Amino acid sequence: MREQVEKAIEQIRPSLQADGGGVDLIDVDEQSGVVKVKLTGACGGCPMADQTLKNGIERFVKKEVPEVTEVVSV
């Protein structure tokens, strides 16, 4: 599952980088389906980071990897 999540994040990463941000995969809990990421660059301190995380990253990763239940920022 981690490999699938990494591939999904690789697909969305260019969109974040275009705005000066980024995302690093920290952990994938295969039992609970929770993915932990760290928003970097401009995304790290952006007031819209929660929206980016939930409406962008989480939605896309869940679509690509249905076993994912949640994406959280650490």
Tokens 């990253």 map to which residue?
A: 57
- Pairwise CA distance, residues 13 & 32, whole Å: 24
Distance CA 58, CA 72 (A): 8
Distances (CA, A) of 29 to 34, 49, 53, 60, 64: 5, 22, 18, 18, 16
Residues facing 25 on adjacent strands: 37
Q: 2-73, what's its fold?
A: GMP Synthetase; Chain A, domain 3 (3.30.300)
Residue 26 CB coordination number (10 Å):
12
Position 46 pLDDT exceeds 90: no
- What percent of the chain has pLDDT above 70? 100
Please say if the pLDDT value at position 32 is more than 90: yes
